[in-house]
Chain A
Amino acid sequence: MERVGFTDPVLTARDAGLVGCRSCARAWPMGTEVCPNCGARVQSRSRRSLQRVWAWWLAGLICYVPANIYPMLETRTLVHTESATIVGGAVDLAAHGAYGIALIILVASVVIPVGKFVSIAFLALSVGRISRTSPEARHGVHEIVEYIGRWSMIDVFVVAILSSLVQLNAVAAIQPGPASLAFALSVIFTMLSAQAFDPRMIWDGIEDQKAGHL
């Protein structure tokens, strides 16, 4: 592996009086607003980024409540109609012996979303404070949250697939429940929340702390 022009301690673009473009990685003089190379908006640190993180985070959390209370799927067969919530559906699957699939649904719809809410809140709270968690670890958390968040959409897709597929007139029909929309919105909002977080803030002040002149 090659490392380009590595200097220790690390000089950041901001320390050098420059601003880096997060789209194309070029450096420009401080105060540049639009990257002349790729046309993206550039900001040394988006000061309002934390507000956006919290706004999307809250919207996602609010949507996550009805997503768990209301039914995700309504199944109507000849004999009866039943509706299942996210957790209820996973429990049903496990009861039928499909433990693997039940686990996928539980991980995608419960573990990942809850983990995301906790992780994003942790990252946003640790900015600007002296955190006991190393920046490397926090950076890892941010990478995982950004990478894994989209996989929560599995359950929404399953609902869309089942309700278009199982339309067998009198025999059986599956309809999406209100939770499907709430859950989709919750996933979208938390993805926006994670994207709004500026990971450069994790590393700010690290060099000063290391050098001991805060």
Chain B
Amino acid sequence: MVDTSRLDDLIVCTECDALYRVRQPERGQVAVCARCHTVLAAPRAKAALQIVALAVATLILIVGAAVFPFLRIEVGGVANAASVLDISYAFFDGFLTVLVIATMSMILAIPALRTGLIIYVLAPFIVDKPALPGARAAFRVAQQLRPWAMAEIFAIGCAVSLVKIADLAQVTFGPAFWMFAVLTVLIVIQQKFMCSWSVWNALASQTPS
């Protein structure tokens, strides 16, 4: 049976409620719930540095992906190139406003906010400084926002759009499309490095905030 006298030593599977006693997994090893196989912990060496580096690159790409055009269209001498910001100008009336706000948040605002929060939480660890105020709330929000950050889905949407109007006009990818493509890869790698259990552990070892 699991000794439950010291709560600090316990880890609960967030998906199935199984209770385990913590044993620090070796770096590179993965602790998996025996019952539902959810990953409980997957610590990596120098993860904070790698994640912050990726996050900074992601932020820069998000800005670029917003302002540069992602697709360019040409029909009989008339041409138009659209950037993500153009989407918001294109239709700002009536029920479409809701749609624009939702689209903008999911492909730009939420990914950017999430990345910013992760930098805010992890950057102090790289330089061995105490966590910044509100770091726990920041990390919790960053985790909750994860399903709502959809930059990678937008990249696929660009490709689908191109095929959809390929016979109506001449369409080419703009720089922002490639930025979204790289962004997708960076986000996947960042999630691979991220072990939330290790982050919570590091935050818990600090003075309570």
Residues of A at the B interface (CB closer than 8 Å) are 1-8, 10-18, 20-29, 36-40, 77, 89, 93, 96, 98, 100-101, 104-105, 135-136, 139, 146, 149-151, 153-154, 156-158, 160-169, 171-172, 175-176, 178, 180-181, 184, 188, 191, 195, 199-200, 202-204
Contact = CB atoms under 8 A, between A and B. Distances in A.
B98 A181 contact: yes
A13 B12 CA distance: 7
Contacts of A168: 73, 75, 78, 80, 169
A139 B96 contact: no
Contact of B136 (A1, A8, A39, A164): A39
Q: Most chain-B CB neighbours within 10 Å: which of A22, A36, A161?
A: A161
B163 interface: yes
Contacts of A21: 12, 14
Contacts of B21: 4-5
A13 B17 contact: yes
B interface, by DSSP: helix, strand, loop or mixed?
mixed
A128 B18 CA distance: 18
A11 B15 contact: no
Contacts, number: 241
A105 to B, nearest CB: 7
Interface stretch (B24-32, B47-55, B57-65): B24-32
A39 B140 contact: yes
A29 to B, nearest CB: 8
Contact of B1 (A4, A11, A12, A195): A11
Nearest to B103: A160
Interface of B: 1-2, 4, 7, 10-23, 25-26, 29-32, 34-36, 40-41, 70-71, 73, 75-76, 78, 80-82, 86-87, 89-91, 95-96, 98-100, 102-103, 106-107, 136-137, 139-140, 143-144, 147-148, 150, 153-154, 156-158, 160-161, 163-169, 196-197, 200, 203-204, 208
Given A4-B25, A25-B12, A202-B16, 18 more contacts: A4-B41, A6-B34, A8-B34, A25-B197, A25-B200, A29-B7, A36-B208, A98-B163, A135-B16, A150-B148, A153-B153, A157-B154, A158-B164, A160-B100, A171-B78, A172-B75, A172-B168, A199-B16
B141 to A, nearest CB: 10
Contacts of B136: 37-39
A39 B137 contact: yes
Contact of B161 (A1, A10, A158, A191): A158
